[in-house]
Structure 1
């Protein structure tokens, strides 16, 4: 396995774990556990960003093109026109 593949695989793993942390943290009732998980998540976010910068510098990763101003405005318009959602917690079955 070459360096590019290893970097991209590790980025993928970090991105996946970062998504998981959000789900776990939001459901953790124990404050100490929440804080520990938040600290781990923050460390992994920094690790992911550093690796992302490295991959971009090496040409292993090409980010998507920046959105144009009109595209950003269109999304803002769509979101502001969306019907408000009730702030009720999801039902647990």
Structure 2
């Protein structure tokens, strides 16, 4: 029988995979109505993903990576903005 942690992690993995797919579908959608529908579906999945992430975090099923230090953040920002 699946444990709560397994179910949550499986659902999170599915949501994360669908969110990655939406980017491609949205960028390639030529029909405005279809594009808007895909954006709405993506937004709903993002909301579900955040709710489930918070649940998993509270239950101790998920441990996020250690936060980056401010110097690392600034370095990435600098690299990204200098390439534009």
Q: Deviations over 1:32-54 (max 9, x none)?
A: 11111111111110000000000
Higher-helix-fraction structure? 2
What RMSD over aligned residues (CA atoms) do the two structures have, in Å? 1.2
Matching residue of 1:91: none
Matching residue of 2:80: 79
Unaligned runs of 5+ in 2: none
| Number of residue equivalences | 83
Matching residue of 1:39: 40
Matching residue of 1:88: none
SS at match of 1:62: coil
Aligned equivalents of 1:29 and 1:79: distance in 2? 29
Aligned equivalents of 1:22 and 1:77: distance in 2? 25
Matching residue of 2:24: 23
Residue 76 of structure 1: how far off its partner (Å): 2.5
Larger Rg: 1
| TM superposition outliers: structure 1 runs of 4+ over 6 Å | none
CA change 1:20–1:69 in 2 (3 A) is same
SS at match of 1:20: helix
SS at match of 2:64: coil
Q: Taking structure 1 as the reference length, what is the TM-score of the superposition?
A: 0.82
SS at match of 1:24: helix
